[in-house]
Amino acid sequence: MASLATHFTNENSGIIFSSVETNIGNFFDVMTGRFHAPVTGAYFFTFSMMKHEDVDQVHVYLMHNGNTVITMYSYEAKGKHDTAGNSAVLKLVKDDEVWVRMGTGALHGDHQRFCTFSGFLLFEN
């Protein structure tokens, strides 16, 4: 599991998580924020994010080899936080990449780890 311990405001870029709590096999690249599939199979991914109070909306995308798979959208008036998340089961081929990309807005990060990204192999095929 990867999480944000600091705010993230880099619009239209891959989210680089400031903390990685679990990285069995080291298939998650902590420098790029990308997961590299070690084997072909079905994988489950989930992410949850908290909108930073300085913005009114945020878009976050789950990416697979450069293509958007699913979107997370959150709206709440400035000065307030809001949380949202999304999940997907993806069929990946060995060496495929999956990551979370920031669209617009800003994410809240602190020691409570409101913004997280994780995934795991369901079965190999």
Distances (CA, A) of 69 to 27, 45, 64, 86: 20, 11, 7, 11
Rg, the chain, Cα only:
14
Q: Which residue has the tokens 């600091």?
A: 6
pTM summary value: 0.94
> Using one digit for the tens of pLDDT, what is the confidence trace for 47-79?
999 999 999 999 999 999 999 999 999 998 898
Burial class (CB in 10 A: 0-12, 13-18, 19+), 9: middle
Cβ(115)–Cβ(48) below 8 Å? yes
Q: Which residues face 81 on adjacent strands?
A: none
On the CB side of 13, how many CA atoms lie within 13 Å of its CA? 11
6-16 per-position pLDDT tens digit: 999 999 999 99
